[in-house]
Structure 1
Amino acid sequence: MAKNYIRVKDGVVDFFKSLVSKDFRDNDLMPPKKDERSPLAKKIDYLTIRVLVFFVLAFFMSLKLSLSWTLIFAAGGTFLLHFALRRAERARERRYSEDMRNYSVRTYTYEQIMKMEPSTEFNILMAQVLNRLNGFTEIQPCSDGSLYYKFDLVGKFKDYPIAVRCNRYKKENEVGKEELSRFASDLKKAGLKRGIFLTTSNFSEWAIDYVNSIRDELRIVLVDKVKLLEWIRLSGHSIYPDAQKAEELEAEKRERERMVSLQKREKQNKRLMQAFFLVSVYLTVLSLLMKHWLQDWMLYLYFIAAVVNMLLGLLCYGIFKHTRSIIRESYMLEHLD
């Protein structure tokens, strides 16, 4: 009965762990979540929560204290809440900035890897990375006439011979059980007990279960794209950007976002300019056609509305021209660089 209790307890614990656990395989290659609220919504939330806390505290304090002490305690509690929320917000902004920097660096490294030729450049890169990691020695590409010609790399890990299969897939293509089965068969034929399967994508659940099922016979380490990028970072290879390069990537990303924002603003001002000019012309023509049926004050009202729309159109035109000049200047500077 004790065994059944332990089994049930472990099952419950695993169930709740599965509820709170997350799959981090793709997190480093996905942009961190950004607060999608508009600036106005942020300001409204900022004020609402503080005003609400102030009145809630004031209500409960008023049951025991006088008006002056109620206001003092409510204001003090609201200030403490404001201080705590500001600290949490700054910490969240720093964490978001750090996550964005890591995302930019890893995305840049992954893009550089995917540009490499799979059977030569990628294999050489993996050999260089593994030789820089602790425990790996003599990692080198396999020659066609050698015993290990079916593998991409061979070498040693803590004096144990090891074979490496380098698989450069697109990140949406998973490595399946069949490829792991062929790799395991090749290891057995070569008389090896240890192997590493590297990929720039992920492994399917069937592939992971298969490797776990033959663990007593063969030790195969699965390295997906996230672990691969982490190994490259730990190796200190030059393909992984350093702090200075990371800052440059962040600056380029901010510049791209600024250009996208300017282009959206340019299109928006162009549409507003056309709309204001069209309404101005429409009101002017309408007032001329109906001048015999409308009273004088109505004609003046139409005229004033037409003038206001014309001025707003000119304002949008000025903003539109200014935004376009900034975009053209940025493009010119980019081509000069």
Structure 2
Amino acid sequence: MCASPIRGRGASHNPHHRFEQIQVEAVDDGWWQDDTEPTHATEVRLEQSRSAISRNNSPDMPFERSLNPYRGCEHGCIYCFARPSHAWWDLSPGLDFETRLIARTNLVEQLTRELQHPGYQCQPICIGANTDPYQPIEREHRLTRGALEVLLTHRHPATVTTRSTLILRDLDLLTRLAEQRLVRVFISFTTLDRELKRIMEPRAASPQGRLRIIKTLNEHGVPVGIITAPMIPMINDMELERLLEAGCNAGATSAGYTFLRLPHEVRPLFEHWLSEHFPERAEHVMSLIRQSRGGRDYDSRFGHRLRGEGPFAELLAQRFRLAIRRLGLNRRRQEHALDCSQFSPPGQQIDLF
């Protein structure tokens, strides 16, 4: 049975995950008396990872390599496509995903070893492709900062995707990387409405905070773009043009968008969230999603999963194209291209002159 909304959390319960073989359900038989309120504090497990860089060959992804310092994400975005990954650690994609986190404590050392491998070929690394590298636990563990320090030392290019103002803590590193054409930052943006942000992304930065990130990075010469993701029918899709305009006015030079994805356990979590917060339009929202997914809740095919298909998805794509053309976004891609030629592997003497 699903619980009521929990303040500061996106999910309100822990659904069973797809790999679970034994399911336990609590039943009140009248004997156990416990008035203690359940806690939903964040727990962090420390992990020694066998690898740092993940690779993908997805034709619709703009990167081949990624690095994720943390598993799970405290921001609690209800729609997060990464939620199902928690099932691999026998944890629920629901509350567990945002409260039982895993920090990859040897990430910096492992990254250094992989860059040093004789067969390593330099390509930009996307930091934060799965979960946010600047979620709150980064304040203590500083794994993202450590990774940026390694990349700066060895002149390795990277992109960073976040929705957290904590990234401004590392402005010193980002500025130096940008001076050498080694970094681009992308700020994920879903709404300008504070209340909608609160229930959709409980612990992520406010809309005004994200605009401040864009403005500050731009003023310090760090190339920054805006990703309006995800666009959800009848929830935030009507804000698309306003989001792009606000990002452009703050200093963003590029933009992208994605359509809502509901893989595996994300669908029931999202449907429950809809029934909690938007009961009067929940059925309509799901109907438009299915119309854009060939009648299904989700379509995992490359080329379709990020954009959708059908009239609603096509209209959204057309609106995006018209908006970026009007605002002059995505015209300076070549100017901000990342430079792989400067890479100096660990152990190799760096030319100081």
TM-score (norm 1): 0.24
Quick check: which one's strand share is greater?
2
Quick check: which one's helix share is greater?
1
